[in-house]
Structure 1
Amino acid sequence: MNDPILRLSGISKAYNPGKPNEVHVLRGIDLEVAAGEVVALVAPSGAGKSTLLHIAGLLDTADSGTVEIAGDDFTGQSDRKRTGVRRADVGFIYQFHHLLPEFTALENIVLPQLANGVARSAAEARGRELLAEVGISERADHRPAAMSGGEQQRVAFCRALANEPRLLLADEPTGNLDPTTSDQVFGALMTLVRSTGLAAVIATHNLELAARMDRQIRLEAGQLVPV
């Protein structure tokens, strides 16, 4: 196996610590994901999968444990360093696309590249390349309101991969789509992931989609168990 892009060690998280309504969401989570590996994180709503993804992507902090991305330990690092690695090395996809409504599909993909210092011409070329990979080149100049839900989510996939991250974290990326569209859009996502060779953790409650990934893990009672 390739060296891990993501390594979580002893990750624990509780809400309302020390209070009567304290809830232990994560209890000593250990996880490694290698470059080129797609891992399905299976869990029902409320089990803590979003919390785990947010900690893995440095959007939240654990009560204990370490988070390493591409061999660097970001535990206790400054917000500036955490923001820098999120921008350069981590891509996020959510159940809802969160596209900027006033910008076109292409512009939504170009903007994060500009924020990362990429020249506009190169950013636009990268955006058009990604849109072609997911089969919606003709939607480049359309705003989100003029696109279907499946098309909007494909644009969100392209935006997440625009800066060529080494780690992709996706939280129910097709959960807001009907079954047929979900299957088509998930296929587009897997095409993008496979073509880049990044490490990916994709949370889903859809067991059929989970079975199409390299490995499945389940979050139960705050701990990971193999499926």
Structure 2
Amino acid sequence: MSNPTLAVSDLTKGYNHGLPNEVNVLQGVTLSVEPGEVVALVAPSGAGKSTLLHIAGLLDTPDSGHVSIAGTDMTQLSDRKRTAVRRETVGFIYQFHHLLPEFTALENIVLPQLANGVSDKDAQARAMALLDKVGIAARGSHRPAALSGGEQQRVAFCRALANEPSLLLADEPTGNLDPETSDRVFEALLDLVRETGLAAVIATHNLELAARMDRQVRLSAGVLEPL
């Protein structure tokens, strides 16, 4: 049996330790995600979903517990090795697109590939193929300011998948869009994820979107439970 793409076990994380305003955000969180599985992470604002995603994606470290990606325990790796794994293995999408405004849509997807050692020719070909998959290839030469909110977020999806990660972590990826656009853009994301067969954890407070994923879990009071 293959290893899960992501496995976190007994994660704890708190802030302001020893102070009167100490907050324990995660209290023994365990979750595994298989290749090709899309998991909805449902939680209200402030419940710790961003903290969990940052730890799972190696942007932060837990107070205790373990994070494994593709069967390798990341907990004891050096910062340099964690950075390398994150760049090569993990894709992130946030509520706001964070595209580089001075570059075109195509260039925003090419740049992370160049940083990962891909040739310019191959990077451009992959970027255009990704834009085509989400239906905005014709907008590749436009800068973010000339794109609609939905188009900007589709470019962000493509950028997150540019280096062919095995794990995608998304934090309210359509939360900044109106309901109609959100539904359309989320469908594009789901199609892209399922086509690539990667593992994905998508945080959302939208129960209708959550129901379209393979499995739903809720983070409440620092504990993860099936929805």
Percent identical: 76
Equivalent position SS for 2:44 = coil
Greater alpha carbon shift after TM alignment, 15-24 vs 209-218: 15-24
Equivalent position SS for 1:4 = coil
Cα separation, 1, equivalents of 2:3 and 2:185: 29
Q: Is 2:206 aligned against 1:193?
A: no
Structure 2: tracts of 5 or more residues without a match: none
**TM-fit CA distance, 1:2:** 5.2
The 4+ residue runs of structure 1 with deviation greater than 2 A are none
Cα separation, 2, equivalents of 1:97 and 1:195: 22
Corresponding position of 1:83: 83
**Which runs of structure 2 are paired with 1:1-227 in the superposition (5 Å)?**
3-227=3-227
Cα separation, 1, equivalents of 2:85 and 2:120: 21
**TM-fit CA distance, 1:48:** 0.2
Cα separation, 2, equivalents of 1:148 and 1:79: 37
Cα separation, 2, equivalents of 1:178 and 1:217: 24
Question: TM-score, normalized by length of structure 2?
Answer: 0.99
Equivalent position SS for 1:13 = strand
Equivalent position SS for 2:5 = strand
Question: TM-score, normalized by length of structure 1?
Answer: 0.99
Report the residue type matching 1:91 in the other structure. G
**TM-fit CA distance, 1:168:** 0.2
Q: Deviations over 1:125-156 (max 9, x none)?
A: 00000000000011000000000000000000
Cα separation, 1, equivalents of 2:114 and 2:25: 37
Q: Deviations over 1:199-224 (max 9, x none)?
A: 00000000000000000000010000
